[in-house]
Amino acid sequence: MKEVTIDNKIMGYIALFERIGRVELRECLENEDMVLFIVGERKLAELFKRNSNIISELKERVNKHILVAESSRDLVTYVKNLFFRFGVKEVIVTWKEGQTDILVAVDQGEIGKAIGKEGRNIKLFREALSRGFNIKSLNIKQ
């Protein structure tokens, strides 16, 4: 497990999310373009039942793309949850010498969005996964 430092900006995002969504947040990460909110297992349906407009409300307040995903103790499920918006086709996990390599296939038209400008999105997803798993690499199948 990686040590995580939370700055005031992230604390603000967490407070905003919990106030609007009324669901406890597991993780919150951001890059220049996106804020990634991770809720607990089986909490996504509850979140949208309580506030079906949460994505647009958060986007309006934060002024960045918003992605909400559900965490999982199962690595493949967690990867599928993170990449759900991009149409996951398959997740290939390779373990060797205690290191984990992940290759994700998404819809052909979504590859660029999944990777993000200058690889920002894929880096954000790798960071999210590495907080709970020992990840060596995360790549999009081209």
The domain spans of the chain are: 8-70, 75-140
Among the listed residues 33, 47, 38, 94, the one whose alpha carbon sits nearest the alpha carbon of residue 68: 38
Distance CA 9, CA 80 (A): 27
State the average pLDDT over residues 90-105: 94
| pLDDT beyond 60 at 1 | no
* In the predicted structure, residue 67 carries a pLDDT above the cut 90: yes
Mean pLDDT of the chain: 93
Query: Residue 97 pLDDT more than 90?
Result: no
Question: What is the torsion angle, in degrees rounded to the nearest 10, for the CA atoms of residue 35, residue 40, residue 135 and residue 4?
Answer: 60
Angle, CA of 49, 81 and 65, to the nearest 5°? 75
Homologous superfamily (CATH) for 75-140: K homology (KH) domain (3.30.300.20)
Which pLDDT belongs to residue 5?
A: 72
Res. 2: pLDDT tops 70: no
Sorting pLDDT into bands at 50, 70 and 90, what band is 103? very high
Assigned token pair, 45: 């349906």
Query: 8-70 has which fold?
Result: GMP Synthetase; Chain A, domain 3 (3.30.300)
Q: Nearest-CA neighbor of 4 among 133, 131, 120? A: 131
Asked if pLDDT for residue 98 goes beyond 80, the answer is yes
Per-residue buried b or exposed e for 82-106, using 16+ beta carbons within 10 Å of the residue's own CB: bbebbebeebeeeeeeeebebbbbb
For residue 134, give Cα distances in angstroms to 41, 74, 88, 138.
20, 13, 21, 11
Q: Which tens digit of pLDDT belongs to each residue from 120-129?
A: 999 999 999 9
**Would you mind telling me the total number of residues written for the chain in this entry?**
142
CA 61, distance to chain mean position in Å, is: 19
Q: Tell me whether the CATH fold assigned to 8-70 matches the one assigned to 75-140.
A: yes
